[in-house]
Amino acid sequence: MPTLKKDSFWLVCLTLAFSLILEAHGQVTRTLPAVTSSVVVVVGATLIDGTGAPPVPETTLVIKDGRILQIGRRGEVPIPAGAQIIEAEGKYLIPGLIDAHVHYNAPFLHRLYLAHGVTTVRDVGTSLERILTLREEIARGNILAPRLFATGPAINPRSVKAMGLSSAREMTLKLAEAGVDGIKVTGYNEEELKDILEVAHAHGLLVFGHTRLDPGALRAVQIGLDGIEHVTDVLEDCVEQNPPFPPDFDWSNRDHFFRYYYSQLHRSVNRTKLDQIIQLMVQNDVYLDPTLVNYNRGFVQRDTPELAADPAFRYMPKEYDRSNRYGHYGPEDRQQWEKTFALMQEATYKFFKAGGFLLMGTDSQAAAPDGALPGWSMHQELEFFVGAGLTPMEALQTATFNNAKVMNQEKDLGTLETGKYADLVILNGNPLEDIRQTKSIHLVIKDGLVLDPQKLLEEHLRHYGERGRP
C-alpha cells in the first residue's frame, strides 16, 4: 500500500487557531482522565492478538507511555513498580476496533465510539479544514476521541465547484498537499478518474469510493481504483435489466431509488458478472468495504418495533434525526430488502473466499435512527460478517489488522504486539465462541489511557442529555 503524506507546517498553525474557536463554542473536550502512572499492566486475560494466532490464556501485557512494552505469560513478565494493574482473570483482550468508513460530523461522537471499543476511525467526507483540525487536536491529546484518519471531502463535480476549483485533478492536488490520508471519489468520468489516480498515487495516497453506474465497478477497477466503498456499487454493475418500476418512478427521488431499485437487486444481479468483477478486484488488489449494517438498519429493520426500541437512540440528538428521508416501509418492502441484504452478504463472502482484501466500515454518523450508529454499529457489522460466512477470528482481523493495513498503519495499529500503540479492548466473554461478546466490554484502553465504557456513556448524557436535550 502507498505511504501516507504527513501534515504540513501551515496545517499545524491552522489547527491551533481553529481549536481555540472550537473551545470557545464548547465543542472541544479538554478534560482528560487522570493518569496515575505511565505504566499500565493487564494481568490474567486471554490474548487474541489479531494476527490470526491461537488465543493465549493467562497473559501479562505491559503498557508504557502509550505503547505496548511487553507481552508474555502470566508470571513470566516482570511488573514494573508503581504500575497501574488491571486484574483481568477470565477476560479476553482484542485490538482496538477500527471503523474504516465514518462521517465524523458532530462533536458528540467522541465518547460513543470509545465506549464501544472503537479506538480508530477513518472519516470519508467531512470538510477539509474542519476534519484536519479535529485530526490534529486528537493527535495532540487535546480531545479524548478515537484516533482519526481523514480524506476531506469526496471528489465529485459539486465538491470541485464548491471549493472554487476547475477540475478533479486540481482538487486531488489540493487535498494531497493539505495532508489527507486518502482520496475518496463519488462522481467522475473515466478521464477524471485517471487524473485523480495519477495525482494521488504520485503523493502516495490510495483512491477509493463509489463507482455507481458511470463508469461502473468493472471499468473503475480496470482504470486503477484502489477500493470500493459499499457492496451495492459492485452489485449495481451486475444489473443487466432493471426491475419493473412504477409509472411515477423518479431516479432522483431517493425514496424511489432505494425502494424500487436497490431493494430489487436480488432479482436483477447477474451472478456470473458478479463473479467476474470479484475476480478482477482480487487480481488488481482492490479492496471492498461492504458497509452492510447501514443497509440492514436503514431498510431491513426500517419501521420495526425492534428498531424503534433500540436503547442507543437516547444518546443521539433529535436534531440529527433524518428518519423520514426514505418514507414508511411495510412488510413487503422489508421482505424485498431481506433478500437483497442476503445477496450483499453472499457477495461479501464470495469476495473474501476468492482472496479479496475486505475492510470493515459502517458508514456511521450523527444521523439517527435509521442508519449506522457510532460505535454500536461496529459490533453489528461484525455479526453480519460472521453471518455471511467468516469465522469470528476472520471478522475480527478485518475490523483491526485489515483496516490498519489499508491506512498504512500496520506498524502501529491493528494487532496487539510489542511496540504498537496500546489500543485494546478488554472483553468479559470469548468473541471467538460468540462474536456478540465484543459488545460485552469491561474496559477500553486507548493510547494507554484506561477508559470505563459505562462512565463514558454517563459523561455523554451529562454533557448532551438524552436525545440532545440537557
Sketch the domain layout of the chain as residue ranges: 9-17+96-414
The set of cell numbers assigned to 224 is 486503477
The set of cell numbers assigned to 111 is 465518547
Give residue 41's Cα distance to chain centre.
28
**Alpha-carbon span 41 to 6, nearest angstrom:** 32
Give Cβ neighbours of residue 220 (< 8 Å, ≥ 6 apart): 193, 211, 228
Question: Is 104 within 8 Å of 372 (Cβ atoms)?
Answer: no
Q: Decide which of 3.90.1170.50, 3.40.640.10, 3.20.20.140, 3.30.1360.120 is the CATH code for 9-17+96-414.
A: 3.20.20.140
Q: Is the dihedral of CA 294, 298, 301, 305 positive or negative?
A: positive
Residue 292's CB: how many other CB atoms inside 10 A?
Answer: 28
Residue 240's CB: how many other CB atoms inside 10 A?
Answer: 9
Q: pLDDT 10s digit of each residue in the chain, 470 long?
A: 444 333 333 333 333 333 433 333 333 333 333 344 589 999 999 999 999 999 999 999 999 999 999 999 999 999 999 999 999 999 999 999 999 999 998 889 999 999 999 999 999 999 999 999 999 999 999 999 999 999 999 999 999 999 999 999 999 999 999 999 999 999 999 999 999 999 999 999 999 999 977 789 999 999 999 999 999 999 999 998 999 999 999 999 999 999 999 999 999 999 999 999 999 999 999 999 999 999 999 999 999 999 988 999 899 988 887 777 788 899 999 999 999 999 999 999 999 999 999 999 999 998 766 789 999 999 999 999 999 999 999 999 999 999 999 999 999 999 999 999 999 999 999 999 999 999 999 999 999 999 999 999 999 999 999 987 76
What is the reported pLDDT for 49? 98
The set of cell numbers assigned to 236 is 449495481
What is the reported pLDDT for 363? 96
- Residue 151: phi, psi to the nearest 5? -105, -15
**Alpha-carbon span 145 to 135, nearest angstrom:** 10
DSSP 438-466: GG-EEEEEETTEEE-HHHHHHHHHHHH-B
Q: Is the dihedral of CA 224, 226, 232, 238 positive or negative?
A: positive
Nearest Cα to 172, choosing from 130, 128, 133?
128
Give Cβ neighbours of residue 99 (< 8 Å, ≥ 6 apart): 113, 118, 120, 121, 122, 146, 360, 361, 362, 364, 378, 403
Nearest Cα to 227, choosing from 407, 65, 67?
407
What is the reported pLDDT for 320? 80
Q: What is the DSSP letter of 59?
A: E
**Alpha-carbon span 61 to 74, nearest angstrom:** 9
- Residue 391: phi, psi to the nearest 5? -75, 160
**Alpha-carbon span 307 to 300, nearest angstrom:** 10
Burial of residue 30 (CB within 10 Å: 0-12, 13-18, 19+) is: exposed
